[in-house]
Structure formats: C-alpha cells, structure tokens
Amino acid sequence: MAERIELTQSAFEILGRKWNGLIIQSLLDSSRGSLHFAELSRNVRACSDRVLTVRLKELEDADIIERVCCPDNGKLGYRLTKKGGSMRPLMSEISTWAAKNI
C-alpha cells in the first residue's frame, strides 16, 4: 500500500503542478500531434510565457513531452512522448469526472 501511495504522489507531483494538466491536454488535443510555443501559450492563456517555459522544461525532464522540429514550418515545437501519450485515458477520465462533478 505504501508503494501505491508513493507512486500516486509522484504522479501528482507532475500533474498537480499548475498548468501541467492544461499543457498535456492541449498536446493531446492537437490534430497534428505537436504545438508551437505560441500555440501552447494561447491555449494556456493565464500562464505567463516565463512560467510556461519552466513547466515545459519540467515536463521535458520528466519525459512527458519532447521538443521537436514541426513538419509544417520547421519551427521548434513540443509533442508528447510515448509516456506522455499514455496519459490519454487518464486525462479523458479526469475530464469526464469534472463534467459530472464540477
């Protein structure tokens, strides 16, 4: 049981950081699989660019996202890693729960 609690705590350290859930959801919702910094900034409007930069770095360090060269224009962008993409069912459940309970 203690191990399960520790694993849950580790997950919330990533997901519980302000803006991280919105960043992950924005990338999950992207039709091309990646977003430029400016697109993420528009999606997470209340987050300053400075804080967004810090959060993106944290998610990159946690192997949730990676920086990529976007195929549409060659600019730097961000996409979910395999580990980050595996959060799709979790994020869907969170959205479903929020729609019913908040």
pLDDT at 63: 97
Residue 22, judged by CB atoms within 10 A of its CB (0-12, 13-18, 19+), counts as middle
* Cα–Cα distance, 11 to 19 (Å, whole number): 15
Say if CB 58 and CB 64 are below 8 A apart: no
Domain boundaries, the chain: 2-101
Which one is the CATH code of 2-101: 1.20.1090.10, 3.40.50.1110, 1.10.10.10, 3.30.450.20?
A: 1.10.10.10
What pLDDT tens digit does each residue of the chain (102 aa) get? Answer: 788 899 989 888 888 899 999 999 999 999 888 999 999 999 999 999 999 999 999 999 999 999 998 776 778 899 999 999 999 999 999 999 999 999
Cut 0.75: pTM above it? yes
